[in-house]
Each structure stands twice: as structure tokens, then as C-alpha cells.
Amino acid sequence: MLVVGDVVTDVVARHTTPLTPGTDTVARIRILPGGAGANAACWAARSRGRGDGGPEVRLLGRVGRAEADWHAGRLRAAGVRPLLIADGSAPTATVVALVDAGTGGERTFLTDSGAVLRIGPADWSPELLDGVGHLHLSGYLLFADAAARLVRLARESARDRGVTVSVDPASAGFIARRGTEPVLAALRGVDLVLPNADEARLLTGVADPVSAAEVLGRRFGLAVVTLGAEGAVVAGPGGITARVPAPRAEAVDTTGAGDAFTGAFLAAWMTGADPAEAAVEGCRAGAEAVTLTGGRPLLPDGPYEPGAPPGVVG
């Protein structure tokens, strides 16, 4: 499987009391590797690392030159083969995640896209699909013109080779700013969409996410809409095919729960699970993800080591 998407340095600040403007709020702050595309790749690769027969996972993304080795090393440690383009003109994207422990780990993001959205057609080659059975595209790439052109090229290359394509629409805020119709046009021809409830509502104009899933299933052939603690709903051309509950979990940080679902779903789907079975695996991974700080699974030998990429104060 090839994932094309964002690699991000996450600054996660978990505060236990409400933010107080104009003064200090005590928080536990960690610097971690992140990014929706990279996170999903790591969760997909985990099944292979556990011996579950998951796919080999590769990740194409653009990062700042100074941080390239740091991010590549953390991807390799998670079982992902990094195909990172080092950008000499922009730093790696950085996201500050403000996580409110008093609201079940809900988070607010401050995003500096950095090198992520500088990826473009020149970074694509059809040979990147050699040996690849599935292409997954992070929706964050839809929100910059050059990156969106790369998405189109990658999707066309996949079609030419008979490779299936999925997209995680990524961000309700970015969809609202970009506009629904341009986003839907960019998604034309994909085999699977994996939005959350807010993204599904925006893409369809339908308030109920289950009904929105039905609309998306008819449009794309397969849609899986995540519903947070309520699990996920699977839809195809004929309507809803499955409702999958989420395991109970005590949320610490909801960052990356959707990425976990996506990665685990794709790993199961690629190895023969039907969409409902794959959604069960996705929900399990999402429930696990909310118990962790940051957006990635634990490494085989434990948590990510402390530290920060060059140029970032840890």
C-alpha cells in the first residue's frame, strides 16, 4: 500500500483546566511525529508488525530538510517505508494540538502546513505504484493547487494500473474554506471515501451522518463514515450495509483516532476482510488511539522516545 499524505511535527499540549487568556495554563506538552497520512500509514503497518499479514506500507510526503531524518527514522521504527522529499525552502508542517482533558480529550488544532502543501506533480512518478495494491490519499492534499494536481495524477496512474484508491477527506474546516464542489470534483473516480461525521455532512449537505453515508455510498460505491464513540457506518450503492459499534474507551487524547481507524480499516480490507469486518478493526484501533497521547500506535518496544526534530525545542 502506498499512502500519499502529510508528515507533521505535533506539539501536543494536554491541559486539565480551561485555557485562561492572558496568563499561564498548566499543561503536559510533548513533541511527537504526526500527520494524518503518516499516522494512518503507521496504524496500517502495525498489523504487519504483529504478524497479522498486513500490507507493506510506503509513505510519500514532503518535509523540511532539517527534520527529514528525524521523521524518516520514526516512520521506519513504526514499520513504514518512508519516501520523503526533503524541502530546502520550507520546514516540516507543525500542528499545535490543544487537548482539553476535561472534555474527554477533545482537541483544537493550530496548523502551519509548511512543506506539506508544497508537494506537487514533479514529486509523482507512476513507478511509485510498482508492487502496490492500493493507493491512499490524505485529503489535506486537496487544499492546495499543486498538491491537488498531484492527487489527480496519482489517481489516474492508479486507474491505469488497476490499483484501488481511497481518500480521507481530512478536515471539515478546510472543506468549508475550499468549497464542497471543488472537493467532490477532486474525489471523482475514487473507490472508497472515509470521512468523519462532520466531513460527511459538509460533502452531502445532509445533517444526519448516517443518511449522509448513504448519499456518499451511492456516489462513490463505498463510503465508511466514522461517528466517534458511536462507531462507524458502512454504505454502498444500495444504501447502509453495516453499523459497527465502537469499543468503550476512556479518552485521553482524540488526536489521530480517525487516522487509526483509516489505517486499520485499510490493512484489514486489503487482506480480504469485507468492509464491515474491516470497520470492526478500524473501530478497535480508534478506541485504542484515544487512550494514547498523539496520533500513532505505540512502537513495538514502547512509546516514542522523547526529543524533537532539529530546529524544534523539545
Residues pairing with 302 in the sheet: 299
Q: Closest by alpha carbon to 183, among 205, 214, 157?
A: 205
Q: For 14, what's the count of Cα atoms within 13 Å in the CB-facing half-sphere? A: 19
Per the listing, cell 477527506 goes with 169
Q: For 79, what's the count of Cα atoms within 13 Å in the CB-facing half-sphere? A: 26
Cell numbers linked to 77: 521504527
Can you tell me the distance from the alpha carbon of 127 to that of 2, in angstroms, rounded to the nearest whole number? 11
Contact status, residue 37 vs residue 91, Cβ threshold 8 Å: no
Can you tell me the distance from the alpha carbon of 63 to that of 113, in angstroms, rounded to the nearest whole number? 10
Contact status, residue 71 vs residue 37, Cβ threshold 8 Å: no
Rounded to the nearest 10 degrees, the angle between the axes of helix 36-49 and helix 68-77 is 30
Dihedral angle sign, alpha carbons of residues 194, 198, 201, 203:
negative
| SS3 of residue 93 by DSSP | strand
Contact status, residue 151 vs residue 178, Cβ threshold 8 Å: no
Cell numbers linked to 233: 457506518
Active site residues: 259
| SS3 of residue 133 by DSSP | coil
Q: Is 103 exposed, middle or buried (0-12, 13-18, 19+ CB in 10 A)?
A: exposed
Cell numbers linked to 164: 484501488
